[in-house]
Amino acid sequence: MRPRTILYTGKGGVGKTSVAACTARRSAAAGLRTLVISTDPAHSLSESLSAELGGEPVQVSDRLWGQEVKAQEEMERHWSGVQEWLGELLQERGVDRISAEELTVPPGMDELFSLLRLQAHNQSEQWDTIVVDCAPTGETLRLLSFPDVARWWIDKVFPFEKQILAAARPIARSLLDISLPSQAVFGDMERLSQNLIAMNEILRDREHCTIRLVMNPDKMVIGEAMRTFTYLNLYGYLTDAVIVNRLFPAGVGEYFAAWRRVQEEHLELVHSAFAPVPVLCAPYFEQEVVGPGMLDRLADALFEGLDPTAVLHDAITQELEVDDDGARLRLALPFASKGAVSLKKIGLELIVGVDGQKRTIMLPPALAAFRPTKATFEDGALEVRFNGRE
């Protein structure tokens, strides 16, 4: 049986590591063998847990282990063949050795390989709960969302790699003056493709794996979280909770009173944009959230009356399908009536009005030049069709 897996992602500096660490501590306190891992290249999990972690799981306390995945080790394990071939190719073209080594790693690949450790932990049957402190954007999750491309490589290219290389290598060397990749390179690509497919299956297992977005009540941070939420829905990943961290408490004092009012307005936007996904809130504490005591205080604030390892919401609230002609957005509005729904698109924002309340949906950039041309409301769901150039 697969372990309960929770991935935390969000913009850098919002307290994502603290939220992941406090979730793991609460899971372990409930008697579950729990692993919390950081795939963020700038690790801070050791400081958060007040424990020295390494590239392999280290026991932190009773039933709790921590790990900071070493991206360079993962690159050497999964990508060495490709790096060696590309490095030699670039150096032959006059690129210095250090620059060539840097250029052999596409942006995001180190984070991707770090996240692939999750696959091995899921298969090990060692853990009841795995909590992942992801890199500070949703880009890594987007890289995991192309299993169809991976399957095409596995079905169409890898079975014929030896014939392709044997036929093309002399032509490439004589006419193009380049060396074709070796079988080791194809081996790296094949393993990556298989890992992408396996990771996609793990992330789409909505009974065991969910993603949680962490944010501060700041407009720009909320906007990025909304875009990430759209992509997660687009790729079929379940978001079961939204975390709003560092809210100024009541009675914060006159100096921060204006900030508190702004935060309350932004919190209304969060509730409307992510509904009906639960919104969990934590205050701005009087000291840094570091160490067991402060992590437990954060967990008390976030999960009061809740099991943090439960699936807190079990349905994808937005379904967006993109095709050559445009897209179809399906949005659950279970308590709305047909005459009370209004639509307006401004740039990449689709503003849905229901009985005077507004909900803002962030659309992917591919739909920037398209406009809503048809809308239907049936069985408590709004369906909007986009096509045609604006």
Both tokens of 102, joined, read 């840097």
Per-residue pLDDT averaged across 293-319, rounded?
92
What element of type H or E holds 376? strand 370-378
DSSP secondary structure string, 241-297?
EEEEEEEPPTT--HHHHHHHHHHHHHHHHHHHHHTTS-EEEEE--SS---SHHHHHH
Same domain, 226 and 78: yes
Q: Give the contacts of 206 (CB within 8 A, at least 6 positions apart).
A: 238, 311, 314
Q: What whole-number distance in Å separates Cα of residue 83 and Cα of residue 94?
A: 16
User: Can you give the pLDDT at residue 242?
Assistant: 96
Same domain, 115 and 250: yes
Same domain, 322 and 308: no
User: Can you give the pLDDT at residue 389?
Assistant: 56
Q: How confident is the model at residue 169 (pLDDT cuts 50, 70, 90)?
A: very low
Among the three residues 268, 287, 316, which one is the final residue of a domain in this structure? 316
Same domain, 28 and 45: yes
| Global pTM value | 0.78
Per-residue pLDDT averaged across 61-73, rounded?
88
Of all residues in the chain, what percent carry a pLDDT higher than 70?
75
Among the three residues 273, 295, 316, which one is the final residue of a domain in this structure? 316
Per-residue pLDDT averaged across 215-240, rounded?
86
Q: How confident is the model at residue 119 (pLDDT cuts 50, 70, 90)?
A: confident
Q: How confident is the model at residue 174 (pLDDT cuts 50, 70, 90)?
A: very low
The residues that bridge with 234 in the sheet, in sequence order, are none
Same domain, 178 and 93: yes
Nearest to 26 by CA among 289, 306, 243: 306
Residue 175 has pLDDT above 60, yes or no: no
* CATH number where 184 lies: 3.40.50.300
The residues that bridge with 357 in the sheet, in sequence order, are 354
User: Can you give the pLDDT at residue 282?
Assistant: 96
List the single range of 99-103, 110-114, 280-284 with lowest mean pLDDT.
99-103
pLDDT in tens, 15-62: 999 999 999 999 999 999 999 999 877 788 999 999 999 889 999 999
User: Can you give the pLDDT at residue 138?
Assistant: 59
Same domain, 291 and 328: no
Question: Is residue 385 a contact partner of residue 370, using CB atoms and an 8 Å limit?
Answer: no
User: Can you give the pLDDT at residue 216?
Assistant: 95
Same domain, 154 and 45: yes
Q: How confident is the model at residue 326 (pLDDT cuts 50, 70, 90)?
A: confident
* Domain total in the chain: 2
Per-residue pLDDT averaged across 142-154, rounded?
59
Q: How confident is the model at residue 344 (pLDDT cuts 50, 70, 90)?
A: confident
Query: In terms of pLDDT, which residue wins out, 82 or 213?
Result: 213
Residue 86 has pLDDT above 60, yes or no: yes
List the single range of 40-54, 122-136, 194-208, 281-295 with lowest mean pLDDT.
194-208
Same domain, 205 and 349: no
Query: In terms of pLDDT, which residue wins out, 168 or 64?
Result: 64
* CATH number where 376 lies: 2.60.40.790
Which residue in the block uniquely carries the two structure tokens 């847990």?
Answer: 49
Same domain, 286 and 343: no
List the single range of 29-38, 178-187, 199-208 with lowest mean pLDDT.
178-187
Per-residue pLDDT averaged across 97-106, rounded?
67
Among the three residues 286, 316, 346, which one is the final residue of a domain in this structure? 316
Angle between helices 71-92 and 183-203 (to 10 degrees): 140
Q: How confident is the model at residue 204 (pLDDT cuts 50, 70, 90)?
A: confident
Per-residue pLDDT averaged across 365-388, rounded?
80
User: Domain limits at 359?
Assistant: 318-389
Q: What whole-number distance in Å separates Cα of residue 187 and Cα of residue 184?
A: 5
Q: What is the mean pLDDT of the chain?
A: 80
User: Can you give the pLDDT at residue 70?
Assistant: 83
Q: How confident is the model at residue 167 (pLDDT cuts 50, 70, 90)?
A: very low
Residue 85 has pLDDT above 70, yes or no: no
Same domain, 358 and 383: yes
Ramachandran region, residue 63 (left: φ > 0; alpha: ψ -120 to 50; beta: rest): left
Residue 213 has pLDDT above 50, yes or no: yes
Question: Is residue 326 a contact partner of residue 366, using CB atoms and an 8 Å limit?
Answer: no
pLDDT in tens, 9-23: 998 889 999 999 999
Query: In terms of pLDDT, which residue wins out, 64 or 184?
Result: 64
Same domain, 349 and 293: no
Same domain, 215 and 83: yes
User: Can you give the pLDDT at residue 334?
Assistant: 62
pLDDT in tens, 270-300: 998 888 899 999 999 999 999 999 999 999 9
Q: What whole-number distance in Å separates Cα of residue 229 and Cα of residue 138?
A: 9
Q: How confident is the model at residue 357 (pLDDT cuts 50, 70, 90)?
A: low
